[in-house]
Amino acid sequence: KAGVTQTPRYLIKTRGQQVTLSCSPISGHRSVSWYQQTPGQGLQFLFEYFSETQRNKGNFPGRFSGRQFSNSRSEMNVSTLELGDSALYLCASSLGQGYSYEQYFGPGTRLTVT
Amino acid sequence: DAKTTQPTSMDCAEGRAANLPCNHSTISGNEYVYWYRQIHSQGPQYIIHGLKNNETNEMASLIITEDRKSSTLILPHATLRDTAVYYCIVRVGVFQGAQKLVFGQGTRLTINP
């Protein structure tokens, strides 16, 4: 079974621009979660989508948004980029129900904001 | 979710068992213990999880103390490829709960040849 894929893998943007990152979950998984990883803050939860609905949201400003499509693929968008948004953005998929939180992570998109 | 405490770093010789401790003294009865690891610049990888019984899979064993206040992840025959940051996470099991994981700083495990 194919793993979680994220595109693009690397991205360089300028302050003030916006960016869209894409995540394709494992086939059959209905939940997609997004995380931001920086050296200073570590891994932080952004939000989770399940069956096209946002089920939970972390403590990030409204510039960070996401959506999920009917095929469970997900995108996240960051508007008005700031230097501090430079990070590794990770997507994780899971079944989304049951008592387990086995999440399977993609390789991440490394975003650099200049 | 209960807070976890892990050593910042550990070393282990290749071929030996690596035992990674985690303290979760405030864990409640319905909270599971999860272990993930992250090899440099890759996404975290699920390893194992348990509620109160010891668990084993092809990657590792998880030993949870009887009072559930601490646990140990055991990699039975560590290889250089096991060098990574290991995260212990405690999470309430909810049937259709949001899949939010709270990662701490983890333990940086270095396997030495």
Q: Would you state the pLDDT for residue A112?
A: 98
Give the C-alpha separation, A47 to A54, whole Å. 7
Across chain A, mean pLDDT equals: 93
Q: Would you state the pLDDT for residue B41?
A: 80
Q: Would you state the pLDDT for residue A99?
A: 64
Helix (H, G, I), strand (E, B), or coil: what is residue A84?
helix
Helix (H, G, I), strand (E, B), or coil: what is residue B54?
coil
Q: Would you state the pLDDT for residue B53?
A: 85
pLDDT in tens, A27-63: 999 999 999 999 989 999 999 999 999 988 999 999 9
Q: Which of residues 70-89 of B touch A (CB under 8 A)?
A: 87
- Residue B96: pLDDT over 70: no
> Chain A: residue nearest B93 by CA?
A99
Give the C-alpha separation, B17 to B15, whole Å. 7
| A48:B100 CB<8 A | yes
- Residue B99: pLDDT over 90: no
B11 Cβ under 8 Å from any chain A Cβ? no
Joined tokens for residue B46: 């699920």
A6-24 as b/e: b if 16+ CB within 10 A: beeeeeebeeeeebebebb
> Chain B: residue nearest A32 by CA?
B99
A63 Cβ under 8 Å from any chain B Cβ? no
Q: Kindly state the DSSP code that residue B5 receives in the 8-state scheme.
A: B
Give the strand pairing for B84-92 and B107-112.
Answer: antiparallel
- Residue B103: pLDDT over 70: yes
pLDDT-derived band at B95 (thresholds 50, 70, 90) equals low
Q: How far from A85 is each of A19, A110, A112, A114, B24, CA to CA, in Å?
A: 11, 10, 8, 10, 32
Joined tokens for residue A88: 């590794």
| Radius of gyration for the alpha carbons in chain A, expressed in angstroms and rounded | 13
Q: Would you state the pLDDT for residue B88?
A: 95
A102 Cβ under 8 Å from any chain B Cβ? yes
> Chain A: residue nearest B90 by CA?
A101
